[in-house]
Every structure is written in C-alpha cells, then in structure tokens.
Amino acid sequence: MKELQIFHLNYPNDYKIKTEPTSMAVGYFDGVHKGHQEVINKAIEVAEQQNHKRGVMTFHPHPLSVLKGTQLTDFLITSLDEKIELFNQMDIDYLYIVEFNKDLAKLSPNEFVDKFFVDLNVKHVVGGFDFSFGHKGSGKIQQMDEYAGDRLTYSVVNKVTFEDEKISSTRIRETLDHGEMDLTEKLLGRPFSISAEVIKGHQRGRTIGYPTANLDISVEHKLPKVGIYAVRASVNGQRYFGMANIGYNPTFTNDIQRPIVEVYLFEFNKDIYGEIIEVEFYKYIRNEEKFNDVESLIERMKEDEKETKKFFQIQT
C-alpha cells in the first residue's frame, strides 16, 4: 500500500501547496459510511481513468462546533485519527485536512473553488448530492460549472440507500442510540469501532475477576446506547474477543456524569496502560443494571460472558 500524504491547510495563513493533478472527493465524511465510500471510490475511479492522484478533502473541527461556538458532545462517529486510518485503507494518495474556521466560513462559493480546488491543482471534484460549501453553504456541487467554468470537471454521487432510506451520519447516530449494532455495521460497511488510549480506572474489575481496560474517549465522540456489548479489540496487532460496558457503574457509584467505556478481554492479562486499542462493537447484550450486591453483579457478568462467547461461537 502506498504511503498517504497528509496536508494540513489553514485559511488564510497556510493553504497554498503544490501537488500533482488530482481527482478529489470532498466532504466532512463523519463515519466514512457506505454513502461516503461511494463518493471516494468515484474519485478513485476517475483518477485511474485520467491518470490523476487520488485525493480526499475533509474538514476539522466539525463545522457545527465552529458556527455554534460550542464543543460537540456525543456526536462524532469517527475522530479525525479514525478517519485518517479509514482513508489510508482506501489507498488514497493525498489527504487534505482543511481547518474549519470563521475565515473559511466567510468565503463565497467562487472563492472556495478558486483557493481549495483550482489552486490545489484539482482537475476533478466528486461530492455527494447534498454537499454544499462557501458562505452559509450557498455553494452547491450541482452548480460547479458556474464557479469553476472549464478549469475542472466534477461528478455528483446520488443518494445511497439501505432498505429504502438514505445512508447518513444522522441515521447512524440514531442506530447507535438504539444499540442496533448489526444495522450500524450494514450502514458503515464495517463494525462500529472506537480507538482510544487505555487509562487507569478504579480497578474494581480486577477485584471481582473481571479486569477491564478503561478507555479515554473524547466527549465529542459518539457512544452507543448504555449497556453491555459483545466486542472484539485490536491490541498491538493482536485481536481478542471480549465484553464492553458503556455506562455509569451504578452498583458502585452514583457520581459519574458521562458514560465510561470499560472493556474486558477474554484470555488476556497484559498491562496495556497508555496503549491505543481499537474496540469493535458487534452486539448489544443488555442494559446496564444496578445490583444489590457485588455477588449478583458477578453472576450476571458470567451470564453475559456465556452469551458473548455463544455469539462469537467461542468454545468454552
């Protein structure tokens, strides 16, 4: 696989670079779901036909956080690092990460096309049917001829659906809210996952025979519905099955403000504090419960483990 070249662009200070002729997909691409993949694959297809570099342009931070002036909470399906890894797997040559700021938001559609398409040597632009750009989203991909003339060509990817409903980041956030991991996987084209650093928690799990890895997850990142999940985790290139708890630890405390994510991995006893692990969520097992005593919690966790191993067809 070729190495992905990443360009961080900041308007108006640092956005002028020289690159080879490029066919580029453009969008925020939260989740890099199946609809987004169609857009990116169209750019790759044109790049191969025209002998262009394969490019993707995304934005950071999310435009909503800048325009509203507040931090997003429980929203992003993919962090920037997770998006970069997904783009890398798609065999892209150039990734342009444009800082979304108020100066960028003020550009007219014509100015945006001039500075971020034409001046970057983009010869073909691909966008989804609902992609808009420029001041207050007034620029529409369908009107690219009006902004670019004959300086570049463009493609519009029509709505991509599953079961007669549009695949969108909004729909995926809703499926996560309902713990519908199977449907989420169909919309994403892969299991929903979170990559995060393992940090020290209260270490209660190890005292009851279920040592867990606590994940340090940004408040911006979307979490699935509170509950117990069947998961698979990648740790230093090795994969392990296990269970994850998303919730508030009600059996032990009542002062947790935001759900925490703890992962118990089967047949695993290594110290991984400080490591980045990726956790894939496959099945919602049950809601989080408050137990009257620790023994009742342990008995229930044994049942959860049996159900999880049955789901993954692990011999016990």
123, 152 contact by CB (below 8 A): yes
What H or E segment, with its residue span, contains residue 280? Answer: strand 276-286
**Does the N-terminal peptide bond of residue 61 adopt cis geometry, omega within 30 degrees of 0?**
yes
Q: Residue 253 above 80 pLDDT?
A: no
Q: Residue 41 above 70 pLDDT?
A: yes
C-beta atoms surrounding 220 within 10 Å? 16
pLDDT of residue 1: 62
Q: 3-class DSSP state for residue 169? A: helix
pLDDT of residue 203: 66
- Rounded distance, CA 54 to CA 43, Å? 7
Q: Mean pLDDT over residues 142-154, rounded? A: 95
Q: Mean pLDDT over residues 113-133, rounded? A: 96
22 - beta bridge partners?
Answer: 53, 122
- Rounded distance, CA 64 to CA 112, Å? 18
Give the start-to-end residue ranges of the domains of the chain: 5-162, 191-311
- Is the pTM higher than 0.75? The answer reads yes
Most confident of 19-28, 64-73, 134-143: 19-28
- Rounded distance, CA 61 to CA 71, Å? 10
pLDDT of residue 251: 67
What is the CATH class of 191-311?
mainly beta
286, 207 contact by CB (below 8 A): no
CATH superfamily of 5-162: HUPs (3.40.50.620)
**Residue 223 to residues 77, 119, 171, 182, 248, Cα–Cα distance (Å):** 8, 39, 14, 15, 13
pLDDT of residue 173: 98
Give pLDDT tens digits for 267-278.
998 899 999 999
- Rounded distance, CA 190 to CA 33, Å? 9
pLDDT of residue 254: 74
